[in-house]
Structure formats: C-alpha cells, structure tokens
Amino acid sequence: MSPASFPDEESLAESVRVLESWGLVVEVGAHALDRHGYMAGRDADRLADLDDAYRDPGVRALFATRGGAGAYRIAHDLDFDAVRADPKPLVGFSDITNLHLALWRHCRVAGVHGFLSGARSAASTRSLLMGTGPAVLHRDPAALTAAVRFGGAATGNVVGGHLGTLAWSVGTGVLDLDGSILFLEAPRAVGLGHVDRQLTQLIQSGSLHGLRGVALGRFPGFEDFADRDWTVLDVLRDRLETLGVPVLGGLDVGHGDHPLSLALGPMAELDADAGTLTVGPAVR
C-alpha cells in the first residue's frame, strides 16, 4: 500500500516478488498506484487502504511502497480500535515515520523502520519480521555518525525515525518519547541550520523529557559538507550533549543504498561504550 507518495510500477512489482519469495501471499492496496499531486491518491483513499488492512484478519503485516509525502495527512485518522484489536507491524520509513509515531502513541504497536529495496535490506527486514530472537546492531566505525558518542547504557522502547518528521510532529499529539530510546536519521535535504532547528525544537518543546538514550543512524549527504567550520557532527554533539543521556552513533540504518532495518517499539538495550543496540523482536 502507499500511505504517502506513489511508487512506479516496476518497484512495486519487485517488492511483490521479494515478499512472494518469502512464501507470503501479497495483496496490493486498491489505491497503491493512484496519483494526486505527489501523493498516491486522495487522503480518504490512502486511509481506506490502511484501515482495510488493519480490519482484515488475513493480513499479518503492512508494507508501505515508499515514503515521500502525505502520511502526515492521515496518521491521526487511522482506525486505532481496529489496530488494537488485531495488532500487526507496519514496514516503512521516511514519511512513514508519521504512521509509526501515531501507531505507537495510540496503540503501542511495533513496526519496522526499513524496506525491501536491495538484498541486504530485504534480508534485514525479513529477519525482524520472521525471527524470534533479539537483533543486535553494531556501531559501524566507517559510518559518519560513529564519531558521535556519549558513554553509558540505557534501556527503553525504540521510538523515532526521520528527524525532520519528528520535529514537525511537535504539537500534533503523536510524540510519546518518555522512557524511550530515540532513533534519529536524515538525508541531507537541508543545511546544518535546519538540523539544528529540528533538534532544538524537539528539546525546547519538552518532547524529549524522560528520554533514556539516543541512537543515530545514517545522515547521507553530510559527509563532505561544512558550514563555517561546523559539520553535522558538531551540530549533533552540541545539541545531544545537553540531554545528559547515552548517545550511540554509527548505526547503518536510514536513507541511502542497502541500509539495515530497525524494529521500532520493542524494548532495547543501548550500550554506547560497547557500541551496540540490542532490540527485542518486532513480532511476538
């Protein structure tokens, strides 16, 4: 289904092939290829596809065809009673962060920050959905954000996703980060000042009160970018240090080619000194 922007037919067909190779029966949302501006059809139709899937006992997981834009327009109108009656994970990232946040806030339903594009990403997503044990993500020393670390350990539910989406969600009633480990990632569609503003908005709004720790994924496009001698690493260190919680950077999750996937919602253990984030199963 396409709760945000629309995919092309080829990428949708490839996703179907991947899921069928896992032995799954795939049902494509009725409006998955609709177009309304940059979105996959009208709000009511995209919402109907989601609600129909949550109400259907034969559907055991939902896969967003892509992110883009538009999920924020329907996240508050989901049939949360149907979700609570038959919880099932949603897989998607970027603009789909809006749905992950709403589902967690209202239903405490776990999901997966990830997708099916590329063998590595597909295998990671499959492991999270079909595996029974915890997943361990390790700091990648070669990753840009691996240079950001504030020591210590923390335990909490993993919540988060795309940084800009989290910041834009302030005041919408979906942010519920108390007792959580906040996961952040973002591609460079904006400058350092925007990243600073987004983090500052989260901090000054009080949305991060009760936060246990922070895990940082990919920030692609910032590798060779500087603004008056500061890089994105300086912004992340400067803002996150004020939180007084452990921060683990260098997780290979987020935008870009062949990322790993991350379960959102389960209890996790973050060890910034050991460089690990251990996350419980996405499906129970």
By annotation, the residues acting in catalysis are: 94, 185, 255
Q: Can you tell me the distance from the alpha carbon of 275 to that of 249, in angstroms, rounded to the nearest whole number?
A: 8
Contacts with 112 (C-beta within 8 Å, 6 or more apart), sequence order: 89, 90, 91, 92, 125, 128, 129, 261, 262, 263, 264, 282
How far apart are the C-alpha atoms of 37 and 22, rounded to whole Å?
33
Q: What sign has the CA pseudo-torsion 123, 129, 135, 140? A: positive
